[in-house]
Amino acid sequence: MEVLILGGTTEASAIARALAGDARVRAMLSLAGRTRAPVLPAIPARRGGFGGVDGLAAYLRTHDVAALIDATHPFAAQISRNAVAAATIAGVPMVSVLRPQWTACPGDRWTTVADIPAAVQALGATPRRVFLTIGQQELAPFSLAPWHSYLIRSVEPPDPALLPATARYIAARGPFHEDEERRLLEREGIEALVTKNSGGAATAPKLAAARALGIEVVMVARPIAPPGETVPDAAGALAWLDHVVSTWKRGV
């Protein structure tokens, strides 16, 4: 049975690893191509887009895909919307992995905002030392607030043209540990952390470190997920797939 996984997350990698030795399925991992050197699992992988809803629907039909798993990032809203629409057109069962959001704990100093421009506004007019952990696609708006000093962390170097003039960059791939995050925040004198509410354990320690140090967190809220069946983790997606495989074998 052909299975397509839309990936780029730790959950997608875990699903791919689990299916690598599963004789019941032929799984393909699809990556958007934003990371130049992704960590690839032991299953076939493709990179790049499909050409919108119609292109993805055509791929599902042409390759006889019998199950679609959307394990993209919670902020990859357009990809997820396209996946739901394409699966509906092609008549392919689909599930989305939607990891639980982070929630504020006692002692947190969160300012929740709707989007990245609002995060820039929330930093205010007083110069601050700001830690940006939002990836490398949405850095340009922070150039509108050049009075802040920015430390940017992402998996790969961002385009220099997108960086604020006062920005420095460090490369790192999670998971991270709270003691390491706390040392980084203290060493850099960070006064505000800007992050997206992506959820998950791999990058959550920065929130605990900020809480311990009394640092404000500007939290960008998630976009609304498209309708459809969801599971919270890789294990849930694999359980869903077990059911789809059994149904497919019976020809139901």
8-state DSSP, 130: E
The reply to whether 38 falls in a domain is yes
Average pLDDT, the chain: 92
pLDDT of residue 166: 86
Position 105 in a domain: no
Residue 252 clears pLDDT 60, i.e. is over it: no
> Which tokens sit at 76?
């990859």
pTM of this structure: 0.89
- pLDDT tens for 99-144 read 999 999 999 999 999 999 999 999 999 999 999 999 888 899 999 9
What pLDDT does 203 receive? 86
Give the per-residue pLDDT at 153: 93
In a domain, 49, yes or no: yes
Nearest to 9 by CA among 245, 207, 203: 203
Q: pLDDT tens digit string along 189-231? A: 999 999 999 998 888 999 999 999 999 999 999 999 899 999 9
- Which value, to the nearest 10 degrees, does the dihedral of the CA atoms of residues 16, 22, 26, 29 take? 0
Does residue 144 sit in the same domain as residue 245?
Answer: no
Cα angle at 102 between 190 and 77, to 5 degrees?
100
CATH number of the domain to which 164 belongs: 3.40.50.720
Residue 77 above 80 pLDDT?
Answer: yes
The number of domains in the chain is 2
Q: Kindly state whether residue 104 falls inside one of the protein's structural domains.
A: no
Q: Are both 119 and 211 inside the same structural domain?
A: yes
Rounded distance, CA 170 to CA 157, Å? 8
pLDDT digits (tens, 9 = 90+) for 6-51: 998 889 999 999 999 899 999 999 997 565 555 667 799 998 889 9
Can you give the residue range of the structural domain that contains 166?
Answer: 110-220
CB 217 within 8 A of CB 193: yes
